Structure 1
Amino acid sequence: MGAGAVGCYYGFLLAKAGHAVTLIGRPALVEAVRSDGLVLESAAGADSAPVQATTDGNGVAGADLVLVCVKSGDTEAAGAMIAPHLGRSATIVSLQNGVDNAERLAAFLGRPVVPVAVYVATTMAGPGRVRHNGRGDLILGASETSARTAAALTAAGAPTTVSARALDALWGKLIMNCAYNALSALTQLPYGRLVQGEGVVASMTDVVQECVAVAEAAGVSVPSDIFDSVMALSRTMADQRSSTAQDLARGRPSEIDHLNGYVVRKGAALGIPTPANRMLHTLVKLAERAR
């Protein structure tokens, strides 16, 4: 549900592993996939996989596993689309940015939704064409079906572990996104070039420190070396631009309200000041209006 870069990547892997996959996405994607299949571009070249595609929420009918991959701001709308068509035994997992999407979707649907921390660099190279730039591993929250889901994803080429502390992992991913996404969007620079800019590392340090303070006040465990992990991303994904950068370049609404904006709101509720995150949130919102 939500066949953007993340949904198409994992959909491709599952289809290649022999699973019956249906993508629910925009009309241009559906038309391309019906004509040429779903295409994955990577360092190994281009390959295609046969999948079904539709613009309708009834694409989840009969599904054993539903991967919700929509933007954070579309979580409830996606829930409304698929709710009438979900089978009772279907496992629903949230492969979304932010930390509260699974909770929000579960409240809307009135049934469990498993949170997933996603570590992958992908972009859409065109309708029905997804480009893989790096990684692809997942941390899946604990549930009755998580072991089976993790085994299927791992066998398909997406290394997946199950953790009862998936929320901690989601916060770790959130901190990464807060450090990079807005700055990458405002400059349209990939991570490797971004961190070379004057004052960038110091600014990212301020952002991360605020995020950690909010997370700890919320009872979330953050690794003591989180900033080392943040900086490592500029090396392991040096050529990647953030999803927020891609949204801004295409004139689409970004997820900034659920990244730096979420930290600002959570910080305010907990009495933690977040000026660096507030500034980045404000600048991206202004850039969205300008475009």
Structure 2
Amino acid sequence: MAQPKIAIMGAGAVGCYYGAELALAGLPVTLIGRPALAQAVAERGLILEKAGQKISVPLAASADPAAVAGARIVIVAVKSGDSAEAARQIAPHLSPDAILLSFQNGISNPETLSAALDRPVIAAVVYVATDMAGPGHVRHHGRGELIFAPGPGAEEAAAILRGAGIKVEVSDQARVAQWVKFTINCAFNALSALTRQPYGRIAAQPGAYAMMADIIDECRAVAEASGVPLPANLMQMAEGIATQMQAQYSSTAQDIMRGRKTEIDYLNGEVLRRAEALGLSAPVNRALWVMVKLAENAQTPS
């Protein structure tokens, strides 16, 4: 029986990592990303750096969104601000029976994709620490498990990924898990970006945990007003991440350090938008959003 084709729209650090793992398990994978990525992978394969080893993983790569054609599973891993455009680009080429998964930060991407495509998109909560060392060269720093929201094709997709050795759970608590991860990202990402420091150094700064607790409290108020109850131990979770991933820089920090646009509008900015719509206040998230936007703008000549 032929293995199901998998296409990954948005071959950044997350897309490349899971693409490498799936290809190593023998699944036909096509990465869709920038031309430099496609060229690098064509010349030497996708370089995966993990557990002290560096290997070349042979797989297909393209800069053309039409490469999703024929894929049974389409993983969308573009930046949050690119979701609607990515949906527009892949829409004409999707198989009618394709299962779509959103492997993205934030809490609104599955809805954005689904509205643009007029078809179901499964939210995936992604727990992995990765970065790109260069075009076609992904580094894995830890974890890799996934939680899928229930939906058409979720169990099938989970079974395929489990067969590749990836830990996947399909859970009706995925929405809560999505908000938990989102809240932790709001607590760490902007601070890491503005200071250009990894989590361990942030945690070591007196007052940092108190500030993170304020961020978390604002996120919790917005979540609960939206009907999503969050666990009481979120601050303890954040402290655990700082301990376990001391050398990790947030994805927002990585973007700032590379002179790229960040996803801050879909992290602390999302909290602010939702808070205002609900008649709530989110001054700490507002301050972080403004400061990261200023840092972004400083990188672009006026």
Relative to the length of structure 1, the TM-score reads 0.98
The range that moved more, 195-204 or 102-111, is 195-204
SS in structure 1 of the partner of residue 204 of structure 2: coil
- How many residue pairs were aligned? 291
| Deviation string, structure 1 residues 45-99 (Cα, Å, up to 9, x no partner) | 0112111111111110000000000000000010011000000000000000000
Please name the residue that 1:98 is paired with: 106
Please name the residue that 2:19 is paired with: 11
Q: Percent identity?
A: 53
1:289 matched to 2:297? The reply is yes
1:269 matched to 2:277? The reply is yes
Q: Partners of 1:126 and 1:104 in 2: how far apart? A: 29
| Deviation string, structure 1 residues 119-175 (Cα, Å, up to 9, x no partner) | 000000111110000000100010131112112212223211001232211111110
Please name the residue that 2:49 is paired with: 41
Q: Partners of 1:45 and 1:132 in 2: how far apart? A: 10
Q: 1:29 aligns with which of 18, 25, 37?
A: 37
Please name the residue that 1:130 is paired with: 138
Q: Is the 8 A contact 2:120 2:152 kept in 1?
A: no
Gaps of 5+ in 2: 1-8
Please name the residue that 2:61 is paired with: 53
Letter in 1 for 2:176: D
Q: Partners of 1:268 and 1:157 in 2: how far apart? A: 42
Please name the residue that 1:251 is paired with: 259
Q: Is the 8 A contact 2:41 2:136 kept in 1?
A: yes
The range that moved more, 256-265 or 137-146, is 137-146
SS in structure 1 of the partner of residue 152 of structure 2: coil
Give 1:44 deviation, angstroms. 3.6
Letter in 2 for 1:212: R
1:154 matched to 2:162? The reply is yes
Letter in 2 for 1:37: G
Q: Partners of 2:171 and 2:37 in 1: how far apart? A: 33
Superposed structure 1 runs of 4+ greater than 3 Å apart: none
Please name the residue that 2:129 is paired with: 121
Q: Partners of 1:150 and 1:28 in 2: how far apart? A: 30
Q: Partners of 2:194 and 2:149 in 1: how far apart? A: 33
Letter in 1 for 2:72: D
SS in structure 1 of the partner of residue 151 of structure 2: coil
Give 1:273 deviation, angstroms. 0.7
Letter in 2 for 1:225: N
Please name the residue that 1:86 is paired with: 94
SS in structure 1 of the partner of residue 96 of structure 2: coil
Q: Is the 8 A contact 2:79 2:104 kept in 1?
A: yes
Q: 1:232 aligns with which of 240, 245, 251?
A: 240
Please name the residue that 1:2 is paired with: 10
| Deviation string, structure 1 residues 183-216 (Cα, Å, up to 9, x no partner) | 0000111101111113111110100011011100
1:197 matched to 2:205? The reply is yes
Q: 2:268 aligns with which of 232, 244, 260?
A: 260
Letter in 2 for 1:268: E
Please name the residue that 1:144 is paired with: 152
Q: Partners of 2:221 and 2:157 in 1: how far apart? A: 33
The range that moved more, 151-160 or 95-104, is 151-160
Please name the residue that 1:216 is paired with: 224
The range that moved more, 213-222 or 140-149, is 140-149
Q: Partners of 2:288 and 2:188 in 1: how far apart? A: 10
Q: Partners of 2:64 and 2:121 in 1: how far apart? A: 21
Letter in 1 for 2:294: L
Q: Partners of 2:109 and 2:77 in 1: how far apart? A: 10
Root-mean-square deviation (Å): 0.8
Q: Partners of 1:131 and 1:138 in 2: how far apart? A: 18
SS in structure 2 of the partner of residue 195 of structure 1: helix
The range that moved more, 217-226 or 83-92, is 217-226
Q: 1:241 aligns with which of 232, 241, 249?
A: 249
Q: Partners of 2:10 and 2:247 in 1: how far apart? A: 25
Give 1:29 deviation, angstroms. 0.7
